[in-house]
Amino acid sequence: MYLARVIGTVVATQKDESLRGVKLLVIQPLDSFQNNMGAPVVAADTIGAGYGELVFCAKSKEGAMPLRDPNAPVDAGIIGIVDSIHNEIKGR
Amino acid sequence: MIFSRVVGNLVATQKNKNLKGAKLMLLQPLDTKGANAGEQFIAVDAVGAGIGDIVLAIAEGGSARQAYKAQNPLTPIDTVIAGIVDVIDTEDGVIRLFD
């Protein structure tokens, strides 16, 4: 699992049948000091995350598991909204 | 499986219902000399590890879910702490964590 920030939304009318009704958000993956890590990706949301929120995500097949169709073609899924992080290693 | 040190934890009230009660830890991957190697990641704890412990983490979906013994097979976990390391003995030397 990795941290990410929600940076936008995606609207797609023509998409795979199993993605109907699924909320798609653009997320920027972060390292644990909340610095950007790699390029933004599109993730499926089932917990009601919003723009600007710090979330944590599951990769690949696990990302689709909270969806109505767990076999939906999704490779990142938002699975929780972060309240707080405690890190013994100080930030960079 | 990868060596990591538990360096922190994460609190999330709003999360997938299958993760209720799961202990979310922040892990720092290590090399065989015990030095930090790579980016930190989040894992669910299945063995009762604490901050400062060196642990074995499984970072592969299917095996991770199996190690966590989740009741619902659709629990969205892709990394899990599956063991607490006592000794690492490689050609780089021996790291002994509990005497």
Residue ranges of domains in chain B, CATH in brackets: 2-96 (2.40.50.220)
Q: Which two tokens stand for residue B13?
A: 């009230």
How far, in Å, CA of B56 to CA of B1, rounded? 6
Q: What is the arithmetic mean of pLDDT over A18-33? A: 91
Query: If you average pLDDT over every residue of chain B, what do you get?
Result: 88
CB-CB neighbours of B34 under 10 Å: 15
Q: A86 to chain B: which residues are within 8 Å by CB?
A: 8-10, 26
pLDDT at A84: 92
Instruction: Give the model's pLDDT for residue A92.
Output: 62
Report which of B30, B54, B45 is spatially closest to residue B82, judged by C-alpha positions: B45
Residue A84: its H or E element: strand A84-87
Sign of CA dihedral A89, B37, A6, A28: positive
Band (B99; pLDDT cuts 50, 70, 90): low
pLDDT of residue B98: 65
Residues of A within 8 A of B16 (CB-CB) are: 46-47, 66, 79-80
Contact yes or no for B77 and A62 at CB 8 A: yes
Tell me: the pLDDT tens digits for B54-63? Answer: 999 998 877 8
Rounded mean pLDDT of B24-53? 90
B10/A31 Cβ within 8 A: no
Q: What is the pLDDT of residues A37-74, one digit of tens each?
A: 999 999 999 899 999 999 999 988 888 888 888 889 99
Contacts of B26 in chain A (CB under 8 A): 32, 85-87
Dist. CA B41–CA B28, nearest whole Å: 7
Structure confidence at residue A32 (pLDDT): 85
pLDDT number for residue B35: 87
> Closest Cα to residue A6, out of A51, A63, A44, A42?
A51
ipTM of predicted assembly, 2 dp: 0.79
Q: What is the pLDDT of residue A44?
A: 93
- In 3D space, the residue among A86, A63, A41 whose CA is nearest the CA of residue B40 turns out to be A86
For the ranges A53-57, B29-33, B46-50, the maximum mean pLDDT occurs at A53-57
What pLDDT digit, counting tens, does each position of B1-19 carry? 899 999 999 999 999 988 8
This prediction has a pTM of 0.83
Across chain A, mean pLDDT equals 90
